[in-house]
Structure 1
Amino acid sequence: MNSEKETFQQKNFISKSIFYRFSQFVGFLLGARFFIAILLTFALYVSTFFLFNQDETFRKFVFDFKVHGIIFCTVLTILAGGIINQFYDFEKDHIVKPFRMRLQSFIAQRYFLYVYLFLCIISLGIAWLISHKVFVFFVVYQFFMWFYSHKLSRILILNNLTFVSLTLYPFFGMMVYYETFSKKVLLMAVFLFLILLCIDIVKDTLTKSVDKAFGYTTIPNFFNNKATKGIIISLLIITMAVSMRLIMKTGISGFMAYYFSGGLFVMILCVYLLLNFSRKSKFITLNILRLWVFVGIIAMLLNGIESKL
């Protein structure tokens, strides 16, 4: 009888230990925004090969270790940025993201900081081996990642502009690396900037009260609902104008033409939803816009494959 009881206790201890380790692992992935980093890595590879890289063959691109090194440094920097951001937003996230914080509670905050420093050092080390210019590029990137989390995320308008700019910074780096400057690429960058800005402001409307309580001065808690709604709808209308410009003036074709044409209807739907400006309509709008960004990556991939065949 005692033997059976001891066996049961051992099994219970093992299962609890496995659950604890698994929770630590999941908590770390969420804290580092691992899944966002995967999406951005996918987007970087797609845009680099099919948009910025106009001349290289697929074989040459695969063996261009300098490009892979830059993208790898970008991924490490994004993971480090996610960690330092959750470190500064720790108290706020307890209210906004309780499930994630419950998982992260299995790991002491100091371990997140250790990993943050480790990722930054590895990223800068690899960047230094690639070239001094790449090293400076990532020093600037990491500095603004930290400065955004430490200070800029609490400053009106600068918080939104900096967040979106940091998201697009690696893509700008690849554009400079390949010297791909054209009207089409510029308008596509403006389109993406505007749609990400809309996403960030809509997201802020859903955390308005919490942001205000913790000292984050955002557009929704600085202006009234009517003004905030007007700002978001105006940005969506400008995004529609950029889409129309892309379709009519740049000769864009294939799946990307369908994407930007369909985007006009998506923006109109979002404007219609935001006229109500209820929490449900804002949540639906946020997820529609996020989904549309992902659809854009897939459209670029399909368009690129079609053009390469």
Structure 2
Amino acid sequence: MKTSTKSHFWIKVFSFFTVIRGYNIAVLILAQYLTSSYILAPDKDLLDIIFDPQLFLLVLATACSCAAGYIINNFYDAEKDKINRPKKYLMEHLISQQSQLVLYFLINGITLIAAGFVSFNAILFFTIYIFSIWIYSTSLKRLFWISNLFATLLVIVPFFAVTLYFKNFEIIIFHHATFLFLVILTRDMIKDLENYKGDWVKQYRTFPVVFGYRLSKILISLSVVLTFLPIYWLINSSLGLMSYYFYFTIPLLLILLILLWQGSSQKRYLWLHNLLKAHILFGVLGIYFIYK
């Protein structure tokens, strides 16, 4: 009986980490600390940054607000996910929707408490951010002309919290942000192709549902081509060994375009989506090699 209870507990824990996208949150935390240490404040000692209580609270607030965002997004996407990802849906809904709502408000409460220890401006920043995620989850994600752009902005915005904290507004920061924005936008549009069936059934007005696969692929191709601009800027900056990451990105994006136009299966789109996801992770790890 005890073994059964323990198994049930760990399954619930795994379900919770699936709902809040634990992998994404871990990458976000790592990215914020690496960005702080090697891009925003390279002159500061690494230990000073790691043990900076104000920065810790900002990162905590960011992680919690994003986790809560995944919960509310998951809550409103339940019926669509039942069609697109039935196995994932079953795992995530081992935690009832009522419990998910309770966790949503609890985690957002932790966000605002952590922000409150930093400053009033931090409270204001995260209040607007939380509200923006809620607006996106309830209505904006159904509008093809804004959903992808808004979703991508919601991923990028947390990095502005630490940027404002260190007051570093060098042009190289915006080159990195532009690159990340376009890669995430491309990934998000590929995800819409992957989720076409559920979006069509549940009447989500995503770009593929409204305009079809061909025009969606043209738009994705345009996003990829635009990504070469920040890559060019970054390659011509002093980024040490991380420059090789951007050199490698060029053939990777070209291969992605070829594979995108060659196939139209859900598995193909899932593979391309995960390819970009892995590439973003390598980019985060690559921050360590700036100036080396």
Q: Conserved in 2, the CA contact under 8 Å of 1:20 and 1:106?
A: no
Structure 1 runs of 4+ aligned residues shifted over 3 Å read 13-16
Q: CA RMSD in A?
A: 1.6
Q: Deviations over 1:230-278 (max 9, x none)?
A: 1111111111232123223xx2332221111111111111111122132
CA distance in 2, matches of 1:227, 1:198: 14
CA distance in 2, matches of 1:105, 1:169: 28
| Equivalent residue, structure 1, for 2:249 | 263
Q: Conserved in 1, the CA contact under 8 Å of 2:116 and 2:123?
A: yes
| Equivalent residue, structure 2, for 1:9 | none
Determine if the alignment matches structure 1 residue 94 to structure 2 residue 82.
yes
Q: Cα distance 1:291–1:205, how it changes in 2: closer, same or farther (>3 A)? A: same
Once the 2 structures are TM-superposed, how far is the Cα of residue 141 of structure 1 from its aligned partner?
A: 1.0
- Count of residues in Structure 1 that have an aligned counterpart in Structure 2: 291
| Equivalent residue, structure 1, for 2:172 | 184
| Equivalent residue, structure 1, for 2:26 | 38
**SS of the residue aligned with 1:28?**
helix
Q: Cα distance 1:246–1:214, how it changes in 2: closer, same or farther (>3 A)? A: same
CA distance in 1, matches of 2:115, 2:109: 10
Once the 2 structures are TM-superposed, how far is the Cα of residue 134 of structure 1 from its aligned partner?
A: 0.6
Residues 120-199 of structure 1 correspond to what in structure 2 (within 5 A)?
120-199=108-187
Q: Conserved in 2, the CA contact under 8 Å of 1:240 and 1:263?
A: no
| Equivalent residue, structure 2, for 1:71 | 59
CA distance in 2, matches of 1:297, 1:181: 20
Paired-residue identity, %: 27
Deviates more, 1:216-225 or 1:133-142: 216-225
| Equivalent residue, structure 2, for 1:289 | 276
Q: Conserved in 2, the CA contact under 8 Å of 1:202 and 1:282?
A: yes
CA distance in 2, matches of 1:32, 1:247: 34
Q: Deviations over 1:131-170 (max 9, x none)?
A: 1011101101111111111111111131111111111111
Letter paired with 1:135: I
Gaps of 5+ in 1: 1-12
Q: Deviations over 1:69-107 (max 9, x none)?
A: 100111111111111111111111222222232223332
Gaps of 5+ in 2: none
Letter paired with 1:36: N
**SS of the residue aligned with 2:43?**
coil
**SS of the residue aligned with 2:290?**
helix
| Equivalent residue, structure 1, for 2:261 | 275
Q: Conserved in 2, the CA contact under 8 Å of 1:236 and 1:267?
A: yes
Letter paired with 1:185: I
Give the alignment's TM-score, normalised by structure 1. Answer: 0.89
CA distance in 1, matches of 2:268, 2:15: 30
Determine if the alignment matches structure 1 residue 29 to structure 2 residue 1.
no
| Equivalent residue, structure 2, for 1:3 | none
CA distance in 2, matches of 1:259, 1:284: 20
**SS of the residue aligned with 1:278?**
coil
Q: Which structure ranks higher in relative contact order (CA pairs < 8 Å, sequence separation ≥ 6)?
A: 2
Letter paired with 2:171: K
Letter paired with 1:160: N
CA distance in 1, matches of 2:46, 2:284: 18
CA distance in 2, matches of 1:64, 1:104: 35
CA distance in 1, matches of 2:89, 2:268: 26
Residues 242-253 of structure 1 correspond to what in structure 2 (within 5 A)?
242-248=230-236, 251-253=237-239
Determine if the alignment matches structure 1 residue 302 to structure 2 residue 289.
yes
